[in-house]
Structure 1
Amino acid sequence: MSQIVIKNLFDPLLIESKTAATVVLMLSSPENEVLAKACDALYKFASKGDENKVTLLGLGAVERLYKLISHEDPIVRRNAIMVFGIMASNHDVKKLLRELDVTSSLISQLAPEEDVVIHEFATLCLAHMAVEYTTKVQIFEQGGLEPLIRLLGSPDPDVKKNSVECIYLLVQDFQSRAAVRALNIIPPLLELLKSEYPVIQLLALKTLEVISKDRETRIMLGENKGLDCLLRILETNEFSDLHAEALAVLGNCLEDVHALQLIQQTGGLKKLLSFIGVSTVPDIQKNAAKAITKAAYDSENRKILNEEEVEKYLINLLEIDNDEVKVAASQAISAMCENLASKHAFGLQGIPQLVQLLSSDNEEVKEAAVTALANLTAASPRNARAVAEAEGIKPLVNTLNAQRDGAIANAATVLTNLAMQEPFRINIQSHGIMSVLAEPLRSTSSQVQSKAAFTVAAFGCDADARTELRDAGGLRPLVELLCSKNEEVRRNACWAVMVCASDELTAGELCRLGALDILEEINLSTGRKNNFSEAALEKLLDNNLSRKYSQMGYLSSSNIITDGFYDCGQLVSSHLLKACSTSLLVSFVDFGVLIIKRKDFSYLPSKSICLKYPVGLSRLQKSKGKKEEEKSKEVIQITPKVQDEIKLENSQWLPPPDFILLDYINNASKIILPLTTTREQVVALAQLVADKMGGPIERDKLHDFSWELHISEIEFELKCNVVPIGKVKKGTFYHRALLFKVIADRIGIGCSLVRGKYNRAWNEVKLVDDSPQGIAGLLLPPHEYIVDLMFAPGFLIKQGSAEADQYKNI
């Protein structure tokens, strides 16, 4: 047999290259040995620095290596993955790897039969890439969690480290947290805590800290004696670099009552608190305080912590010269003071330290401290007093100018809590709180807006405070808050307006700024109306009785008619009100008591005319401290004041003073005040009013009582539709009821004024009937009567009777 000689074989050729470009070209070689050596050379080159990685990226090495990570030759595959693992730390390389979708190929290399070096660098590459959200999703969806968890038990520490790091990054997403729990990750993570490598222990603790935020995982951790492992770490001095992370995990676990009870029963809670007391490491102190905060969210946990006197540890942490520790301790105090015993303990010792923190330059510290004070002073007059005694009022007022919304809102809350006690309210007001509140009212934060309005309501009960708010321009932003879409802001703003409308000046300014219109719109809406919107509207109207009577058709006995009142008829629509300028509505403030005949605003003087008129009435001075039956019989003369004429826009319009009305009041004072009982006074006043306005009228001849012509004649005489009520000599129901109310208010007879339909109006009075014979001193409830001013003047018709209904209706 002849021997065949193959002549086309080439002897091995050793190639030495000193350029990266040449080696990258070698990645296209068909020979496995060349590929393996090229990959090994590139690995060494890339390991020297980030600049070399960028060079390889520019030479197209990544695309060529991607084709080799699934190569059939295990050495080529291993070396290619090694290059990927080292290059993936570069941002631009990671971006290209995502575009190439290498995750599925890398995950496939995590199979048990693969070389440990492949495991090491495949997990390293995945860990580098898992910092990006899109890659996390890819790893999760492509089933990467299961092999990564399995590799936590690898004999190679680098594989463990890379795997746990990748898992730590993946579990930042809630889907992966649920998945690792189902894959029973707790036992291998706890096993990693025994590693001799601190970095592995640290990553395991960080992973536990993230996944233990879920209650189901905390249960699994307890079932696997994870709490014992954590406490052992805290008890071991050589693990001091792990104490902060161990406390973070423990803090999550302590949210569950069962876990806290278990730790308490085993003595672990005492050890934990004593550990906090002796530690001088800020991170440990901070995490310990955070652990207490999490535990204190549960009422049973707060009780357990209070039994272990956790308060003294937290108060000590407030003294630590570290802002993060102070913040964490203040937050823990906020949570713990939900327990009344803890609240009392903090009030005795912790409040002065918290007050000192209000002067901190760190805004976060300031916010945490004032939040704690807000919780401590809530429903606790004792703690509020402790804040004042610690000289906290001035720094609290200063905190209203803080940079953080939470600090401003909580400072307002503390000041409101203090204002419940009169001496503190006065003290706070002396620091100009209403001027300071003007700015928080303009805040864009609904939390700040709400608390600021609430604080205005707390301090607005004082006249000086209202003046201060007006002068500081605080009423405009307060009115604007009435339009807030936030229900709490709107409610508190209504409350503040209601309180501030207690005096005529403030109420007038609020009306000028549109508060009345806004409140009317709010009260028309079932969704926006609240408990205070109706009260606020009524309070504003109480200081604008003309408008109140026009809109509501009712004035109570406490609504005292004063100079400037006018009756323009019933407003049937808010559109009529808007058709008339606000300046016109308030232009009659210096008038005498007037009545306007027409029923709509189209008959009022032009909007451009600003009407002012000399005061026609002065307030009747009544003797104080006497019962109504013992009113002074002294007749007090009421005289008009004379003022300068007010220039109108292009002409002058000067209604005559209502001297006739003044005479009516003087006569009523002479005739009626000497009467001994209110009933007699009411009857006499009714007869006087009827006499001045045409006398009694027979019911069946009411249609012949031509009062309309009489009113028209007065208008023609005055060349004006504004008719002084004293000029009316033939008045119907609503003229007489108004005159009765005016005089009654001036001489001290309590009565209401009610408008009905079709020119009807009437007065209601409350009178006490005489005691039955033989029963002296019996206190009977008052009955309500309607005063007849038309048919039988002075007759008192019992409210609710058929006669009353007949009087009120046609």
Structure 2
Amino acid sequence: MEMKPLYHFSLGEQELSPVTAVLMLSSPENEVLTKACEALYKFASKDDVNKVTLLGLGALEQLYKLISHEDPIVRRNAIMVFGIMASNHDVKKLLKELDVTNSLISQLTPEEDVVIHEFATLCLAYMAVEYTIKVKIFKQGGLEPLIRLLGSPDPDVKKNSVECIYLLVQDFQIRAAARELNLIPPLVGLLQSEYPVIQVLALRTLEVMSKDRETRIILGENKGLDRLVNILENSELNDLHIETLAVLANCLEDVQTLQLIQTTGGLKKLLSFLKVSTVPDIQKNAAKAITKAAYDSEIRKILHWEKIEKFLLSLLEAKNDVKIAACQAISAMCEHIDREYYNLLDWIPQLVHLLSSDNEEVKEAAVTALVNLTTASPGNVRAVAEAEGIVPLMNTLNAKRDGAIANAIAVLINLSMQEPLRTTIQSNGIMSALVGPLHSTNSKVQSKAAFAVAAFGCDANARTELRNAGGVEQLVKLLHSNNDEVRRNASWAVMVCGSDELTAIELCNLGALDILEEINLSTKRQNKFSEAALEKLLDNNLSQKYSRMGYLSSSNIIVNGFYDCGQLFWSLTLHCI
């Protein structure tokens, strides 16, 4: 933005030193005060070191007395020095101690000089970075005059005012008050400013404001949505496109606003812009906007009608940050709509390909999308297999991100619902691959891994593989978990793996029986699988059952190897959690 030149003063033939100028601030003569402020302004404008020098000389305390001076020129010059010095951190600290905000706000009346407006708003904008100052400006009534000054004929006043407002509305209470004070129409008006810096600040403020549904409605009523779409259509305003898209992203979260954009043709224009853009930040923000919007079922339908899926598919070939955002958008889009439809879009081969990415975040995003695509979708499950996704999914169990590991296991579980695929996965060594996740410290990974052991442990060879890989011991340890889901899935896995005598004996030797008995005596820790697991282990280890229970059921068949070690009596002191 090409700002107008700063206010200049003639100092005469004599150049005042900072020390002298500060001493002159105590003069009773207006002319002396004016000249002193002029000299201080010139000195402070040079660099930050000079501002600190004046701070050490006590200039601020003297200037504070002058910003409410009865002489308008003295008052104006004092506020100019205040404004130029306020960029310094140490100066801001002292300004806070002096509690200058109320005095500055009082200078924002329509009758005051435009230069006073400029430097008073500049000082407030510098100070409003701190939360306590935001609250103070708001409580002292500073928001209303700042909004009024958005209509100032001076671009510097507009710029400082909108910047200060942007900082204030970070607080949700101030945001609501700003909306009631009719902030949105003047902000929309600033989008047509000839100064890019003002446009950017207006857009950033609108982005914060449009987080609230009420603001989005007002924005639509004031043709703000059309203005935003028009900015995107204008290639000469490409430096505003990212901020504009951020505002529209919030608007896409609201069905009523989205329908308004759609009925006016704005949605088609928006999508046309997105499809041709090659700017990574724009592509990424577009995908994030779709992700947020797609959590609403009605909005998903609208986006689906506009064929947003093809756009997302194209983003899977972009840069890593864009791929991640696109995968997240795909996850949101397919979470509730008929997943079989997405099998036709070639999403699955693309996502399977991303599992081999060197970028761990890309892997996690891709496999998360695959979870949603394959859940309750036999067609998509087959599509993953046809895309040769089993091996990449198995490899993802060694990923560095817990989310990627947990979701890869979830996809493999979805695939296991089809017996031919379950057999293929078992033949690729799934039980050995699950030993690492079983040792994870992440409860979600532990839970999914135990679930997978239950899903694949129905095969005798798989159980043998788990024993040989050392997975049974860790499975027993997970029975101790304080996480209900981990404990439940571990109990389920023990129940499934206890289906053969060898595994059942090993589980018993590792203490599974004692742990399960303890769990089942607790009203809070027991679950339906813990009871079934205990019964299964005893039925496949009849010596233990007879020893503990004192009887065998009619269905229990004694074979070679049974021994009677006598009735076992024990007592458990349980501290049920």
TM-score (norm 1): 0.65
Q: Percent of aligned positions with the same letter in both sequences?
A: 77
Determine if contact 2:339/2:373 at 8 Å carries over to the other structure.
no
Distance 2:419 2:321 in 1: 36
The Cα offsets for residues 388-412 of structure 1, whole Å up to 9 and x where unpaired, read as 2222222222222222222222111
Match status 1:380 vs 2:377 = yes
User: CA 1:168 to 1:464, structure 2 compared with 1: closer, same or farther past 3 Å?
Assistant: farther
Q: Which residue of 1 aligns with 2:539?
A: 542
Q: Which residue of 2 aligns with 1:225?
A: 223
Distance 1:110 1:343 in 2: 61
Distance 2:391 2:247 in 1: 40
Match status 1:440 vs 2:437 = yes
Q: Which residue of 1 aligns with 2:500?
A: 503
Q: Which residue of 2 aligns with 1:54?
A: 52
Gaps of 5+ in 2: 1-10
- Find the partner of 1:313 among 296, 311, 314: 311
Determine if contact 1:337/1:346 at 8 Å carries over to the other structure.
no
Q: Which residue of 2 aligns with 1:158?
A: 156
- Find the partner of 2:141 among 140, 143, 167: 143
Once the 2 structures are TM-superposed, how far is the Cα of residue 375 of structure 1 from its aligned partner? 0.7
User: CA 1:111 to 1:453, structure 2 compared with 1: closer, same or farther past 3 Å?
Assistant: farther
SS of residue paired to 2:74: helix
User: CA 1:195 to 1:467, structure 2 compared with 1: closer, same or farther past 3 Å?
Assistant: same
- Find the partner of 1:183 among 173, 181, 184: 181
Determine if contact 1:358/1:366 at 8 Å carries over to the other structure.
yes
Q: Which residue of 2 aligns with 1:353?
A: 350
Moved more, 374-383 or 268-277: 268-277
How do 1:80-119 and structure 2 match up within 5 A? Answer: 80-119=78-117
Match status 1:23 vs 2:16 = no
Distance 1:57 1:513 in 2: 73
The Cα offsets for residues 122-163 of structure 1, whole Å up to 9 and x where unpaired, read as 222222222222322322333322222222222211111112
User: CA 1:40 to 1:514, structure 2 compared with 1: closer, same or farther past 3 Å?
Assistant: farther
Determine if contact 1:523/1:533 at 8 Å carries over to the other structure.
yes
SS of residue paired to 1:109: coil
Distance 1:22 1:94 in 2: 24
Distance 1:479 1:133 in 2: 51
SS of residue paired to 2:253: coil
Once the 2 structures are TM-superposed, how far is the Cα of residue 61 of structure 1 from its aligned partner? 2.9
Q: Which residue of 2 aligns with 1:401?
A: 398
Distance 1:235 1:222 in 2: 18
- Find the partner of 1:43 among 41, 44, 48: 41
SS of residue paired to 1:16: coil
Q: Which residue of 2 aligns with 1:515?
A: 512
Once the 2 structures are TM-superposed, how far is the Cα of residue 330 of structure 1 from its aligned partner? 1.0
The root-mean-square deviation of aligned C-alpha atoms, in Å, is: 2.6
Distance 2:392 2:399 in 1: 11
Determine if contact 1:347/1:386 at 8 Å carries over to the other structure.
no
Once the 2 structures are TM-superposed, how far is the Cα of residue 15 of structure 1 from its aligned partner? 8.6
Gaps of 5+ in 1: 1-12, 577-810
Q: Which residue of 1 aligns with 2:132?
A: 134
Distance 1:524 1:542 in 2: 20
Moved more, 149-158 or 308-317: 149-158
Once the 2 structures are TM-superposed, how far is the Cα of residue 555 of structure 1 from its aligned partner? 3.6
Determine if contact 1:127/1:165 at 8 Å carries over to the other structure.
yes
Once the 2 structures are TM-superposed, how far is the Cα of residue 570 of structure 1 from its aligned partner? 7.2
Distance 1:432 1:58 in 2: 73
- Find the partner of 1:428 among 407, 425, 432: 425
How do 1:645-794 and structure 2 match up within 5 A? Answer: none
- Find the partner of 1:531 among 528, 531, 544: 528
Once the 2 structures are TM-superposed, how far is the Cα of residue 211 of structure 1 from its aligned partner? 1.7
Determine if contact 1:290/1:332 at 8 Å carries over to the other structure.
yes
- Find the partner of 1:205 among 188, 203, 206: 203
Q: Which residue of 1 aligns with 2:295?
A: 297
Determine if contact 1:17/1:23 at 8 Å carries over to the other structure.
no
User: CA 1:192 to 1:503, structure 2 compared with 1: closer, same or farther past 3 Å?
Assistant: same
Q: Name the one with the larger helix percent.
A: 2
Q: Which has the higher contact order (CA 8 A, sep 6+)?
A: 2
SS of residue paired to 1:439: helix
Q: Which residue of 2 aligns with 1:329?
A: 326
Q: Which residue of 1 aligns with 2:3?
A: none
SS of residue paired to 1:559: coil
2:346 maps to amino acid: Q
Determine if contact 1:303/1:339 at 8 Å carries over to the other structure.
no
How do 1:600-639 and structure 2 match up within 5 A? Answer: none
Once the 2 structures are TM-superposed, how far is the Cα of residue 18 of structure 1 from its aligned partner? 5.6
Once the 2 structures are TM-superposed, how far is the Cα of residue 343 of structure 1 from its aligned partner? 4.9
- Find the partner of 2:475 among 470, 475, 478: 478
1:475 maps to amino acid: V
Structure 1 segments of 4+ aligned residues over 4 angstroms from their partners: 549-554
Match status 1:454 vs 2:451 = yes
1:35 maps to amino acid: L
Determine if contact 2:252/2:289 at 8 Å carries over to the other structure.
yes
Determine if contact 1:347/1:383 at 8 Å carries over to the other structure.
no
Q: Which residue of 2 aligns with 1:613?
A: none
Equivalent pairs counted in the alignment come to 563
Match status 1:366 vs 2:353 = no
TM-score (norm 2): 0.90
Once the 2 structures are TM-superposed, how far is the Cα of residue 114 of structure 1 from its aligned partner? 2.4
SS of residue paired to 1:574: coil
How do 1:591-602 and structure 2 match up within 5 A? Answer: none
Determine if contact 2:542/2:562 at 8 Å carries over to the other structure.
no
